[in-house]
Structure 1
Amino acid sequence: MNQKNGRTDPGPLRERARSLFISQATIDETLEWATPRQLDAIDRMLATELANREASKRARLMRQARFPVPKSLDGYDFANVRLPDGYTKEQLTGLDFAAKAQDLVFYGKTGRGKTHLATALGMLAIEQGRSVRFRQTAELVLQLGKAKRDGALDSLLRDLARADLIILDEFGYAPVRLDGAR
């Protein structure tokens, strides 16, 4: 813990304890009787717990996203990417479109890095703690049809609605029947 005027500063410990929903009364009582070394141990334990929870959350978000292959923007070549007028690379990588619930469509020839870019942006969203769903469009249409037949459509739609970012890959590559489009 930080030293402040020769005394241990309980600020970080208070913040960590409150983020774990420990009551203010329990924190105050503990601060009254605990020695500085005990407070350091408690603070370290709380910090470790928060870090473990954050790591578990990221792993859960990655499983839910179902990326085919994890990708990053490290070394990504933006030479073939043309953004709309007035829209910057920083806005794209800052996920401004997701925060504003805007659609973003990547189109172009095969092998130009559209899936790579979409996956990398999805992984950035997960790093920020956002929920992502990555689906091949044809696969999603099949899942929706099956869920409808099985009576589980509402559940699937709720899962998709909870996502902060939905990535549909290969949109327009596979023909979709009218019923599937609905």
Structure 2
Amino acid sequence: MASSNWNLDKSHSNITFSVRHMMIANVRGSFTEFDAVVTADPEDPTTATATITIDAASVDTKDAGRDGHLKSPDFFNVEQHPNMTFKVTKVTSKGGEDYDITGDLTIAGVTKSVTLSGEISGPAKDPWGNEKIAVSASGSLARSEFGLTWNAALETGGVLVSDTIKLNVELQFAKAA
């Protein structure tokens, strides 16, 4: 099978994250606006090229005040850096559907190489004859590496927001006509 273009199926995709709050609980959030450009041969995912673009202002933690703070210069600085991107640089097979997906992640104007552990599934045909593939990937990053260093010390020791951010990406694609 040759490489072809794949369109993001947004209704079956999500990008979520979690971070430790006050060193005792996990706060979860998502990005509601994102897109991806993918060229892939489902028979050999290691040849895939992809760029995911996330609208940083679409952050949603179910708390308008917190979301506003995340959009501010303390974190994403969406006025100066409206988008985050992940550009795949290497896909390495670990056997079966398991892959390491390495790419350049840009947040708030800072780019770092990040490797996510993932599964690449498909191709499969849906009931309407559309060919689909899916990518599930997860990993963690240190937000301080992207210049996101805002924090507050706690009276009991520790900090308000952990440096470690856990990512979870679930993307489904339809083969372009």
TM-score (norm 2): 0.23
TM-score (norm 1): 0.23
Which protein has greater RCO, CA pairs closer than 8 Å, 6+ apart?
A: 2
Structure with greater proportional helix content? 1
Structure with greater proportional strand content? 2
